[in-house]
Amino acid sequence: MDRKGRTRTWDAAHELATQTYFPHRLRPLDRQAPDFRLNAIDYGPVTIGRITFGRDVAIQCEYPGAIEVNFPLTGGLESRIGSTEVLSGAGRATVFAAGERHDITRWSHDCDVLGVKFDEAWLRDRAARGFGVHGALALPRQLDLRQAPTADWFRLLQGLHSSGASGGPVALTLADALATSFLLSVLPETGPNPVAGGPAVAVVLEALAADPGRDWTALAMAEVAGVSVRRLQESFAKELGKTPRQKLTELRLDRARTDLRAGTGTVAEVAANLGFGNPGRFAAAYRERWGVLPKEDLPR
């Protein structure tokens, strides 16, 4: 469930944060009332939220069943994870593993955090099936957002949150995109041996063309090709200079033009049948590819 809220009481701030993220112990570091703000979007196994307290606070939590990554957009986040001290400011993110005691010793009054929460079991399943990594995930304590591929993942997070794109019928597709980008940035180069680039790409392109409206995820495409997600991404980049998702969007727009010109449905119906959950973004993508709006290709 998406959540938005603003409050100036500590009890309400604690309740909103608990409902959105985890049970935790919140300790204000000064006596003034907070200026707490929260804007969270729920994608099922993934939640993206922007949160600020407006006051210095300390937080204790064990992140039960979930992995949390916090990106300070402003201010600083001082944490103690086991015996390790981690200080994150703009350009760096702190990673909190599941089921491990973490102390945020100081969340500064000017700290505005963009955070993402992954369901641990779901993310581990993605890592096993798509990357050949089994068991507990060995995650770094901190991420540098100034280097690829972490920077690419951070831009994806910012873009989704800024757009306000809610979950709805494409929630799992968006969650999969976030998980795939995250795993590409933190997992080592392991996984099944790749099929040669050409065959893997050809097999996936055939499957996408046959059913472009399917709710395709990166994992589903990799399983069709019989390679890891990482190898599939590399094969598409080498052969086509595009990601599998970019090629899928092209195929969907090609089919959309064929269907619209054939009069098989309204613009909204064609868009929905081909997996475009937002009519406005569909129209913009269609115009970028074909130079006209979708309605202009309807039979006259």
Q: What is the pLDDT of residues 117-129, one digit of tens each?
A: 999 999 999 999 9
Give the tens place of pLDDT for each residue, 73-83.
999 999 998 88
Does residue 218 sit within a domain? no
Name the least confident of 65-69, 193-197, 257-261, 277-281: 193-197
Pairwise CA distance, residues 203 & 239, whole Å? 13
Indicate whether 256 and 135 sit together in one domain: no
∠ CA 60-151-74, rounded to 5°: 50
Does residue 242 sit within a domain? no
Give the whole-number percent of the chain exceeding pLDDT 70: 95
Name the least confident of 104-113, 141-150, 165-174, 222-231: 165-174
Q: Is the Cα dihedral 124, 129, 130, 136 positive or negative?
A: positive
Does residue 178 sit within a domain? no
∠ CA 227-179-248, rounded to 5°: 60
The pLDDT, as a whole number, for residue 196 is 44
Pairwise CA distance, residues 132 & 194, whole Å? 12
Q: Is the Cα dihedral 85, 151, 181, 52 positive or negative?
A: positive
Per-residue confidence band for 197, with pLDDT thresholds at 50, 70 and 90: low
Pairwise CA distance, residues 3 & 21, whole Å? 11
Indicate whether 262 and 148 sit together in one domain: no
Per-residue confidence band for 64, with pLDDT thresholds at 50, 70 and 90: confident
Closest CA to 25 of 87, 84, 105: 105
Domain boundary among 106, 131, 156: 156
Arithmetic mean of pLDDT, 82-87: 90
Does residue 238 sit within a domain? no
Indicate whether 284 and 148 sit together in one domain: no
The pLDDT, as a whole number, for residue 166 is 65
Arithmetic mean of pLDDT, 250-274: 95
Q: Number of structural domains, the chain?
A: 2
Mean pLDDT (the chain, rounded): 90
The pLDDT, as a whole number, for residue 194 is 45
Name the least confident of 44-48, 96-100, 121-125: 96-100
CATH of residue 44's domain is 2.60.120.10
Domain boundary among 156, 185, 204: 156
CATH of residue 255's domain is 1.10.10.60
End-to-end CA distance of the chain: 42
Indicate whether 18 and 120 sit together in one domain: yes
Burial 104-143 (b: 16+ CB within 10 A, else e): bbbbbbebbbbbbbbbbebbbebbebbbbbeeebebebbb
The pLDDT, as a whole number, for residue 191 is 46
The pLDDT, as a whole number, for residue 59 is 96
Which residues constitute the domain of residue 283? 247-297
Indicate whether 137 and 253 sit together in one domain: no
Indicate whether 27 and 128 sit together in one domain: yes
The pLDDT, as a whole number, for residue 192 is 47
Arithmetic mean of pLDDT, 221-239: 92
Q: Tokens 């760096």 belong to which residue?
A: 92
SS3 content of the chain, % helix, strand, coil (to 5): 45, 25, 35
Between 74 and 165, whose confidence is greater?
74
Indicate whether 152 and 256 sit together in one domain: no
Does residue 189 sit within a domain? no
> Residue 80: what are its φ and ψ, rounded to 5°?
-125, 115
Does residue 52 sit within a domain? yes
Indicate whether 276 and 142 sit together in one domain: no
Domain boundary among 108, 139, 156: 156
The pLDDT, as a whole number, for residue 167 is 59
Per-residue confidence band for 30, with pLDDT thresholds at 50, 70 and 90: confident
Between 111 and 195, whose confidence is greater?
111
Cα distances (angstroms) measured from residue 250 to each of 50, 236, 242: 32, 14, 10
The reply to whether omega before 149 is within 30° of 0 (cis) is: yes
Per-residue confidence band for 169, with pLDDT thresholds at 50, 70 and 90: low
The pLDDT, as a whole number, for residue 159 is 87
Indicate whether 40 and 144 sit together in one domain: yes
Arithmetic mean of pLDDT, 155-163: 87
Indicate whether 142 and 286 sit together in one domain: no
Instruction: Characterize the bridge pairing of strands 66-74 and 57-61.
Output: unpaired
The pLDDT, as a whole number, for residue 171 is 82
Indicate whether 50 and 150 sit together in one domain: yes
Does residue 293 sit within a domain? yes
Does residue 171 sit within a domain? no
| 232 contacts: CB under 8 Å, gap ≥ 6 | 200, 204, 218, 221, 222, 225, 244
